[in-house]
Amino acid sequence: MSEAASARKPARERILDTAAELFYREGIRAVGIDTIIAKSGVAKMSLYRNFTSKDDLVCAYLERSIAQHGAWWDRVVARHPGDPRAQMKALFVALAHWIDHPKFQGCPFTSAAAELRDPDNPARALALAHKRMVRDRLHRLAVAAGADDPDRLCAQLQLLMEGAYAAGRALDLGPGNDAVASAAAILIDAACGQARP
């Protein structure tokens, strides 16, 4: 009856896998502890022995997502070594693909921050810190690409990135939509000058 392959992973991993999928797909507040333990086939006490609270589990989910997002970013920029302008554009092309994925449900960090509005919530702090990290990474790329005003390009691109996440979930941009990548290319070229094609 149990899911053959994953049934023999340690309980902690099964819990985190299940929680990540449910939190992302249905929302953090909408998913209760009981649902997670039922779906992961784990005892309630196994959950509370591995995580001190639901908040703690949410933080673990976000931390893992941050690591995965960082790895994704690194993979994309590694395809254009030494070419920051191409790296920026490639990030938006990859983002456009991700948005088209059937399991796409928006940015998990934006969603978490939207659901958990208490300024003291540690999960919220994690999500916002990640946004700042993305901002810093974009800023370094903008500087390296020789943008006239790196602050402005960085802000514009992060706007576009957030917009792609939000629009990909709420609207349906339709498959093959090139608005994300084309808008990014226009903004990047406008900020860096048309020098060297």
Partner DNA sequence: GCGATGGTAGAGACAGGTCTGTATCATTGT
Partner DNA sequence: ACAATGATACAGACCTGTCTCTACCATCGC
C-alpha distances in Å from residue 172, one per residue of 22, 54, 101, 136, 167: 22, 32, 12, 29, 7
Considering only CA atoms, which of 12, 23, 11, 15 is closest in space to residue 127?
Answer: 23
C-alpha distances in Å from residue 126, one per residue of 3, 33, 116, 173: 32, 21, 11, 29
**Which one of residues 16, 22, 24, 54 is an interface residue with DNA (CB under 7 A)?**
54
> Least distance to a copy of itself from the beta carbon of 33, Å?
16
Out of DNA, a copy of itself, none, what residue 33 binds, judged by CB under 5 to 8 A for its kind, is DNA
Helix axes 84-100, 54-77, angle to 10 degrees: 130
Considering only CA atoms, which of 49, 51, 69, 53 is closest in space to residue 134?
Answer: 69
- Which positions from 117 to 136 touch a copy of itself by CB under 8 A, shown as an x/- string? x---------xx--xx--x-
H helix and E strand count, the chain: 9, 0
Residue 106: which region, alpha, beta or left (left: phi > 0; alpha: psi -120 to 50)?
A: left
Q: Using the rule CB under 7 A, is 55 a contact of DNA?
A: yes
> Least distance to DNA from the beta carbon of 110, Å?
21
State whether residue 29 is helix, strand or coil: coil
Based on CB atoms, which residue is closest to DNA, 45 or 159?
A: 45
Q: Which stretch binds DNA (CB under 7 A): 51-59, 79-87, 107-115, 124-132?
A: 51-59
Q: Using the rule CB under 7 A, is 35 a contact of DNA?
A: yes
Summarize as ranges the residues that interact with a copy of itself (CB under 8 A). 25-27, 29-30, 106-107, 109-111, 113-115, 117, 127-128, 131-132, 135, 152, 155-156, 158-167, 169-171, 173, 177-180, 182-183, 186-187, 190
> Which residues are near DNA by CB under 7 A?
10-12, 14, 31-35, 41-46, 48-50, 53-55
